[in-house]
Structure 1
């Protein structure tokens, strides 16, 4: 497995075109792998995520079984002249194995995850359930908390003295966990786009980014989470969790 990072040159029109459509960006990411054909539906999972740290600081992260060739991304949305130096081709790729091998039960890490937190609900009795986005911070946090055990980790809790709200606070008729966990939910985006060459209805997604601290409980499950993703809409930039040492930034 490999982890790659590509800095997007947001001043370029090609970059703005890619950033405006998750479908275009997904196609560009998949074009980084010459051995993968568009018709190959059994190709290994490739995960990607955009980190928009500032208006002119946007990074594309990719986790993939094969090493990518992002030359076309550099030409469309990078700094082609600077990339002529073979030492700095415009992106960085490292083996993911050293980090995956370091994972052990009890290890604590900072994490970042962009996800599409959804649930299935019906508006009326007798109607089929429909996939629906969680819209409140409380339900978005709960979505991740409900998946943490199976995904191989637990999100660390704050010391009681550091909590601004007590656990058990009522929210919409349900018990709320207050600010019990070392986790924030930010950067909500309502994504709405039409697939090119498609007559189907537009794709509508709600995405959010989670930052926080976790402890590994099941290293094998954690490795699967990091390499296979978490949740829905993986083709559209959701599901990729990355780790950093707990004292650093996720």
Structure 2
């Protein structure tokens, strides 16, 4: 497995077009793997996420079973004149050693962009319909319900800082809610998604389950920038 970070040059018109639709980013990401063939669901898939920082920087993160070649992205939405043989314009890390070192009880900061949805039935006798969670409270509950299966436990806030009535009980914030509406290449109709980003702190409860989550993703809409969780060391108090 490999984890890649690419910084997008947002001053370029092609960058703004790329970021206007998850379908465009998906196509650009998959073009980075010329030798990759379709695989079954038990094999790690390509996951990606777009992060926007407080300083208006935009990074594209990719987790993949093969090493990507992002030359086309450097040329179209990066800084091609600054690229060299040593600094090609992106950074790829061997993810396997990090995944192998995950231990039960270890603590990490995490970030996840996801598509929190649930299935509802408006009346008896009709099929269920997948519907997005709209409020931060329900979006957080969606994530908390997936802790045990995912092999992690999100830290709870000290009792004095909890607001149980609003659901604010854990060390996680839900931000950057986006309602996306775009067309899928070659198909009629529109795709609508609601995405949110979670930032928080977790403990590893089942390393194998968490490794699977990190390499297979969490939730729906993985092809469109959802499901990729990344971990970072906790800073010293």
Gaps of 5+ in 2: none
Say if 2:157 is the partner of 1:138: no
What is the CA–CA distance in structure 1 between the aligned matches of 2:24 and 2:55, rounded to whole Å? Answer: 20
2:168 to 179, 184, 189: 179
Q: Between Structure 1 and Structure 2, how many residues are aligned?
A: 234
How do 1:227-242 and structure 2 match up within 5 A? 227-242=215-230
CA distance in 1, matches of 2:143, 2:229: 12
Structure 1 counterpart of 2:195? 207
Q: Deviations over 1:15-48 (max 9, x none)?
A: 11110111111011011112025xx354851000
Question: Does residue 244 of the first structure (1) align with residue 232 of the second (2)?
Answer: yes
Deviation of 1:81 (Å): 0.2
User: Which is further off, 117-126 or 64-73?
Assistant: 117-126
Task: Supply the distance in 1 between the matched residues of 2:78 and 2:100 (Cα, whole angstroms).
Answer: 32
Q: Which residue of 1 aligns with 2:187?
A: 198
Distance 2:145 2:185 in 1: 35
Superposed CA RMSD: 1.4
Supply the distance in 2 between the matched residues of 1:236 and 1:55 (Cα, whole angstroms): 24
2:80 alignment partner, SS class: coil
In structure 2, distance between residues paired with 1:99 and 1:106: 15
TM-score (norm 2): 0.95
List alignment gaps of at least 5 residues for structure 1.
170-175
- Number of the residue aligned with 1:188: 177
CA contact (8 A) 1:111 1:244 kept: yes
Over 3 Å counting, the alpha-carbon distance change for 1:86 and 1:234 in structure 2 is same
